[in-house]
Amino acid sequence: MIAIVDYGVGNLFSLLSSLRALDLEAEVTGDAGRLRAADRIILPGVGAFGDARAKLDATGLVPVIQEEAEKKPLLGICLGMQLLFDKSFEYGEHPGLGLVPGQVVDLRRDLTDKTLKVPHMGWNSLQILKDDPLFRHVRDGEYVYYVHSFYARDCAAGTLAASRYGNVDVTGVVRRGNVYGTQFHPEKSGDTGLRLLRAFAEL
């Protein structure tokens, strides 16, 4: 069973629908026992980092997520991926979960072409930098869907794939041990995203 963490952030049911379309057993839950019982965990998220971290803290699930990440595959999606890092500088400085080394910074800071729109929203090709079982059904250069204004930096050791936006190589996929993250939304990335979710379910 794949447990989707419910902490009041994001549209969880499009993700649930995608997993069920793949005939995968999945549920949306905020229950610590169900997370422990799950074979895999997905941490979704949209919105602001500080608000999301506060809501996650309020559930009491942070230590559960950190413990379970040592035992089973965990996938953070979009803001859920950003929460995996050490810290974020989105409207202040906020601690992350410390599951993947790196930090989250404003994309506008690093773009040299200030006419490029932020949020970075739309389809970009994914350049696979390191081979990984997560890409067993995905080819280099396939397109995935992004919606974000901040991105992960100082995480080269764990970066599996990236997408070019202007002069910036946006961190697209990261991994550390059992922990994976995608800055893009697999559940909004058509057949490519579904194939990536299938590979996650096979880890």
Q: Quote the CA–CA distance of 161 and 177 in Å, as a whole number.
A: 16
Of residues 176 and 10, the one with the higher pLDDT is 176
- In this prediction, residue 10 carries a pLDDT of 74
185 included as an active-site residue: yes
155 included as an active-site residue: no
What's the pLDDT tens digit per position in 69-84?
999 999 999 999 999 9
Q: Which domains are delineated in the chain?
A: 2-88+103-202 (3.40.50.880)
What's the pLDDT tens digit per position in 114-134?
899 999 999 999 999 999 999
What's the pLDDT tens digit per position in 11-50?
788 999 999 999 999 999 999 999 999 999 999 999 999 9
Q: Quote the CA–CA distance of 29 and 13 in Å, as a whole number.
A: 11
Mean per-residue pLDDT, 6-11: 85
- In this prediction, residue 11 carries a pLDDT of 73
Q: Which of 68, 70, 78, 94 is catalytic?
A: 78
Stated pTM of the model: 0.96
What's the pLDDT tens digit per position in 137-165?
999 999 999 999 999 999 999 999 999 99
Q: Is 97 exposed, middle or buried (0-12, 13-18, 19+ CB in 10 A)?
A: buried
pLDDT at 9 over 90: no
Of residues 197 and 12, the one with the higher pLDDT is 197
- In this prediction, residue 100 carries a pLDDT of 98
Q: Quote the CA–CA distance of 49 and 39 in Å, as a whole number.
A: 26
Q: Which of 94, 120, 148, 185 is catalytic?
A: 185
Q: Which of 68, 90, 142, 187 is catalytic?
A: 187
78 included as an active-site residue: yes
pLDDT band at residue 98 using 50, 70 and 90 as cut-offs: very high
- Please count the other Cβ atoms lying within 10 Å of the Cβ belonging to residue 131: 9
